């Protein structure tokens, strides 16, 4: 996909601060406010900007534990995998779920307030899955990088 250099500058700015005014954004990228707004609307309409969200502090809400959970299924059964995905998608504790290759089938990022909440999640969701063979939990001691931006935008021009 080819993007105009102005669109790349807009995307780069919005990834740093999507809450800035259109006027501020326009000044930073060197466009008039109407032209900038038109480009932002086009980027949204084309699905390049999927959505604009607020990143809420898990720490501030007391959800201090992040678990990386590796799940191995009993087999490569599509129906069981889809049932697992459906259960995970209904679990508010799961913030990310990846279907992966290798020795495990899924990697989850689970955010909870304490180990008791995590145990309840495991009982309610993980152990309840028919095709789950085993899982391993890695407890994050601290987050050293958290970046939601998409890098490498300049290569798209």
- Measure the CA angle with vertex 140, ends 136 and 141; round to 5°: 135
Q: Determine the Cα–Cα distance for residues 71 and 41; give it in Å rounded to an integer.
A: 40
Query: Among candidates 115, 119, 111, 146, which has minimal Cα distance to 135?
Result: 119
- Structural domains in the chain, CATH included, are 5-54 (1.10.10.10), 65-139 (3.30.70.920)
Q: What is the pLDDT of residue 153?
A: 72
Q: What is the pLDDT of residue 38?
A: 97
3-state helix, strand, coil in the chain (%, to 5): 40, 20, 40
- Each of the 157 residues of the chain gets a pLDDT tens digit; together they read 688 999 999 999 999 999 999 999 999 999 999 999 999 999 999 999 999 988 888 888 888 899 999 999 999 999 999 999 999 999 999 999 999 999 999 999 999 999 999 999 999 999 999 999 999 999 999 889 888 888 777 677 6
Q: Which residue has the tokens 């145990």?
A: 119
| Residues recorded for the chain | 157
Q: Determine the Cα–Cα distance for residues 11 and 44; give it in Å rounded to an integer.
A: 11
Q: Determine the Cα–Cα distance for residues 146 and 122; give it in Å rounded to an integer.
A: 25
């Amino acid at each position: 996909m080819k993007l105009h250099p102005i669109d790349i500058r807009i995307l780069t700015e919005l990834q740093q601060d999507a809450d800035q005014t259109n006027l501020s954004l326009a000044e930073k990228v060197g466009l008039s406010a109407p032209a900038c707004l038109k480009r932002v609307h086009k980027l949204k309409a084309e699905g390049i900007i999927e959505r604009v969200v607020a990143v809420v502090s898990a720490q501030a809400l007391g959800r201090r534990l992040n678990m990386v959970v590796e799940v191995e299924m009993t087999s490569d059964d599509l129906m069981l995998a889809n049932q697992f995905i459906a259960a995970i998608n209904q679990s508010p504790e799961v913030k990310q779920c990846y279907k992966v290759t290798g020795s495990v089938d899924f990697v989850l990022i689970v955010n909870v307030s304490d180990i008791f909440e995590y145990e309840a999640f495991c009982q309610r969701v993980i152990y309840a899955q028919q095709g789950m063979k085993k899982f391993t939990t890695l407890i994050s001691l601290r987050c050293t990088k958290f970046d939601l931006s998409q890098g490498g935008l300049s290569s798209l021009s």
